[in-house]
Amino acid sequence: MQDRLTTLFKAVADPTRRDIFHALVIASSALSITQISNQFEMTRQGVTKHIKTLEDAGLVYLDTKGRERFCNANAKPLKELSKWMTFYEQFWDNSLDNLDHFLNTSKDA
């Protein structure tokens, strides 16, 4: 449906999802859906949807045990976002590129 980069960016574009992901990353053990729900002012079903989105992006993987589903964070996919940004790093500082734009568009005014 949509490319991987888009799926990944959209997953982390939501603040609640970033919070859930962060909570999972720093958690000392995997957290069940209900445990996560208790930490957020949202219904369990709401959390479930976010987890699904994070799972689709590969940022979370589930571990079913009995009636519970434990959520684990997986930061690896973030590498892909980082890689995408690499190309633009060269334009971050003292942007010669921007200067170039300026010269090309403002000079002959």
**Site of interaction with DNA (CB under 7 A):** 10, 13-14, 16-17, 32-35, 41-46, 48-50, 53, 62, 65-70
Alpha carbons within 13 angstroms on the beta-carbon side of residue 20 total 33
The Cα-based distances of 19 to 2, 27, 46, 54, 59 in angstroms read: 24, 12, 14, 11, 13
Of 20, 30, 51, 54, the residue at the interface with its own copies (CB under 8 A) is 30
Which contiguous run of DSSP H or E holds residue 40? none
Write the CB contacts of 102 (distance below 8 Å, at least 6 apart in sequence).
none
Residue 41, interface with its own copies (CB under 8 A)? no
The binding site for its own copies (CB under 8 A) comprises 2-3, 5-6, 9-10, 12-15, 18, 25, 27-30, 63, 65, 70, 72-76, 78-79, 81-82, 85, 88-89, 91-93, 95, 97-98, 100-102, 104-106, 109
